[in-house]
Structure 1
Amino acid sequence: MPGTLAIDLGSSTTVVAWQDSQGPPGLLPLPPYSCGDPCVVPSLLWLESPEAERPLIGRQVLEAALADGDHPGLCRDFKRHIGAPATGPSPGWLSAERAGAVLLQGLWRALPPELVPERLVLTAPIETYRGYRAWLQRASGELAVPELALVDEPTAAAIGAGLPPGSRVLVVDMGGGTIDLSLVALEGGEGRAAPIAQLLRFAGRDLTRSTQTLRCARVIGKSGVALGGRDIDRWIAAHLCPDVPVDGALLQLAERLKCQLSDAPEALQIHATGGSFRELTLSRPAFERLLQERGLLQLLDGLLETVLAAARREGLGLAAIDAVLPVGGSSRIPLIRQWLESRCPGVPLRGERPVEAVALGALALTPGVRVRDVLARGVSLRCWDRRSGCHRWHPLFMAGQSWPTDQPLELVLACSRDGQDQLELVLGEPLPEERAEVVFEAGLPVLRQRPAGAAPVRPWSTPPLAIPLASPGQRGVDRLRLRFSIDAEAQLLVDSDDLEAPAGAGRLGPQRLGPVR
C-alpha cells in the first residue's frame, strides 16, 4: 500500500503518522517500540556495548528499566543537539546525529510489510533547520524512499491543528526535557503562497543543490528553559516516595499518574519493590499544588512575558495573535490549559491534538500524497481599477505557489467601458523586484536604493482569451466571475460565469490559458 510517512522526532517522544491515497491520516503503531494512547515511540536508545548493532528502542528501554541513569549506552534528549553547533564531546557512545540516524533506521525496519512509503516527511526546529536538513540528507541515505521532505515544526503543528496559512501562532511546546514558547508568523496569507514541505529528494534525485529556498515560519519571539515532563515526573516521585531512590521504574509510574490526571480527578498506581507493594495515589488538586510550589507557573509567566515583549517591539499586542497552540504531552495538564486561558484571554486555544498535531501537519503539507511542484514565476491578470479609472495588474498566483492547486482562485471582473461585448484576459509574468541598483562613484561600486513602487509585469506573448458577454456591459459594473486553477500539467485554466446571463446560459467551461513556470 503506497503512501506518505511522517516522523516527528521529539526530545522525549517520537510520533509516526501514515496516510495512503485512500484513507485519512493517522498515527502508526510500531511494535515493539511504540506505546501509549496516543501511540508514540519514546525517544530512547540503549546499547549493551559500543559495538552493538541492534539497540533497544523506545518501549523496550522502558520495559527493561534502563531509561534512567548516566550509562554511556543510554541515548536520550539527543534531538535538541542535531544540527546545533557542537559544544563538546558526546557523553555517550553515540553522538546526537548518530543516535537520531539509528532511531530512524529502527523505525523504518519496524514498518508493517504491507506499507510502501513513497515519501518520508520529517520535521525540524526552526533554530536548527539548516543543520537539521544536512543531517537528514545523511541519515536518510540508507532509507529506500523515492521522495524526502522537511518542514519546520511550528508550521506543521499549526497546519495540523487546522490553522490557515498566514496566521500568527503562539506555540507552547512542553516536551519531555524542555519548555519552549514561540510566537511565529506562518508562511502564506494575504495573497502569498501557502506553506509546503521542502523536497530534499524527488523521484530518487537529490535536490540538495536545487533552487528551492527555506520557507520556515518567521519567529517573532522565543523563550525556553531546560525543564520538561520528566522533571515533573521527578517531582511527583519525590513527593509520593520521599524515602525511595528515584529510578526508571518509579519515574514510569509517576508519568502514568501524571497522564491519568489529565483526564481524571484522581490517579492510582502500584509500586512494587523488594517484594512489597505500595499504592501511589495523587489527586488533581494535590498535583496542582505541587506544580505551584515548585514554581512552574511563575516560570511560565516569565517565559511568556519574554515572548510578548519581543512582539511589542514589532508593534504587536496580544490581540494580534490568532491562536495559542499547546503541543507536547505535558501541555495536556489541566492546570497548564487554565494558565493559558487566563494569560491569553480572548485568543482561541487550539489544543485538541497536542501530541500528534506536528506529525499530522507534516502530512497535510504534502497534500493528497501527490507530487507537487512550485511556481518559479508568478502569474498576474490585467484588471480594470474603478478608483483610478485605469488598468492595473492583479496577482493570481505568486512565485512559490504549489501546483496542481487544490481550490480554484475566484475573481470578479467589471467592464471598463459602456457597451462592452467581451472581456479579454490579458496575463503577465511579474518580474523580480529590484529595490536597489549598483552605481559607480569615484570608481567604486555603491548600492543605491530606488524608490519603491509596483513591480513591473511582462505580458504573455500568447494572445489573450476573449470571453463574450451575453449582453453589452456597463462601465464599472461586475460582469464575469472567473475561477483560475493550475492542473497537473502546469496549465493555467479558467472557467467563467456571466453574472447577467440567464441561469446556465453564461457558463464557459474550463479554458486552457497556457503553461505556467
Structure 2
Amino acid sequence: LAGLKVLRIINEPTAAALAYGLGRNRDKGELRVLVFDLGGGTFDVSILEIAEGVFEVKATSGDNRLGGDDFDERLMDYLIEQFKRETGIDLSQDKMALQKLKEEAERAKIELSDVYETEINIPFIAADETGPKHLLFSLKRDLFEDLIGDIVERVEEPVLQALEDASLSPEDIDQVLLVGGSTRVPLVQRKVKELLGKDPLRGVNPDECVALGAAIQAAMIKGEVTGIVLVDVTPLSLGVETVGGIFTKIIERNTPIPTSASRIFTTVADNQTTVEIHVLQGERPIAEENISLGRFQLTGIRPAPKGVPRIEVTFSIDVDGIVHVKAKDLDTGKEQKIEIKGIKEVPPDEVEKIIREAELERSKDESEYRLRQLRSQVQSVIDSLEKRANFLEYKDSKRVKEVLISLRDKISFSSEEELRETLKLLEELEEELERSED
C-alpha cells in the first residue's frame, strides 16, 4: 500500500541484534544473546546465537497480552479509586475523563523512568453540585512500582521457557538487549538483571532499534553491508497426518530455516491410486490436536498391493518462512504441491500455549497414540489374514473370515489391553493358517 518493495521478511529480535551491532566482529567467537522485547501491548523474548557473522534464532517465547498498556491501566484504576474516595465521583463511566486519565497515566509512567516523583494534574475532570473537580496527585516511583509489580513478574515465565527451549541457563547468556519503550521502566530493567544476572545493553533507542535493524538487513541484501548471515527457526513442528490419525513430524520445532526434509510413505489399501496429504503444525502426536495448514491430493498412483508404492513427501521452508510441501510418487514421477504462508505468524503466546498443552497432555496423548497404533496394527493383520483365507477350502475360509469380521467390529471400541489380546488371537490364527497351508 505504501509503494515500498519488500526485499525480505526479518523477525524483530534479529533486527534488534543487528541494530546493536552484534555479529560484526567475527573475532569474538560465539555469542548468545537474549532479546527482551516489551512494547505497548505484547511481550516477546528470543534467544539468538551469533557466530562468525551468522545469526541463528535458538528459541522464542512471549505473551501477547502483556505490555506498557497494562501499566497505564493499573495506574488509571488507582487514580479512579483515589478520586472516588476523595470526591465520591466514579470516573470509570466517563469516556472523556478516561481518555484524559489514560494520557496522563502514560505521561507519568514515562516521566518516572527518569525522575523519582511526578505530578498528575487534570483540571475540571468532573463536576458535582458543589462545582468543578480537579484531579491533583503526587506520584512517586516507589508507589508506581508497587502498583505494577505483579504485572512485571509475568515476564519471568516466558524468559525461563525460552532458556529451557534453547537448553541454556542464565549464565550462558552473553548479552541482553532491550527492545520496546516499556523496557525503559526501571523496575523492568531490574527484573531483567535479576533473571539473567547481568545488565542489559542500552546503546540504542529501544523504540527505534527494530526499524534500524531492518534497514541494516535491507543494506545487506543490496550488498552495502557484508559478512552477516541471518538464520531463523520454525516456531512449531511441521508434518502430516498418517494412518490412524497420527501426526508424523517431518520438520521439528526450532529447526533453523531455510531448511528442507523428506520422508517416504506408502499406501494403506490395495490398488490405492490417490493419497490425501494433510499438512499440520503443532506438538501433539494426535493429528486433530494440531493446527491444520492445508490439504491436497496426489493422484495417478499406479495400482499395487498396499505398502508397495513409495510416496516421498518433502517440506521446504524458505528464508521468509513460506512452506512448500511436495508429494511425489517415486514410481510414476507424478507430483503435487502446496504453498503455505504465515507459519512464523503464530503469536508467541499461542506458541507457548501449544507447547504447554503438549506437556500437560503428554501422558494422555501417549496413551491415545499407543491405542491408535495398536488399532492400525490389528487392522493390518486382519487385512493380511483375510487375503490368505481366500486360498483355503471353502469351509475353513468361511470360519476364518467370520472370526476376522467379529474381531474387526470390536477394534474401535477395544481398550489397549483388549487390542493386545486380539493381536495374540490373530497370531494364533496365523500359525493355524500356516499349518493348514503346509
Q: TM-score, normalised by structure 1?
A: 0.37
Higher helix share: 2
Could you say which structure has the larger radius of gyration?
A: 2
Give the TM-score normalised by the residue count of structure 2: 0.43
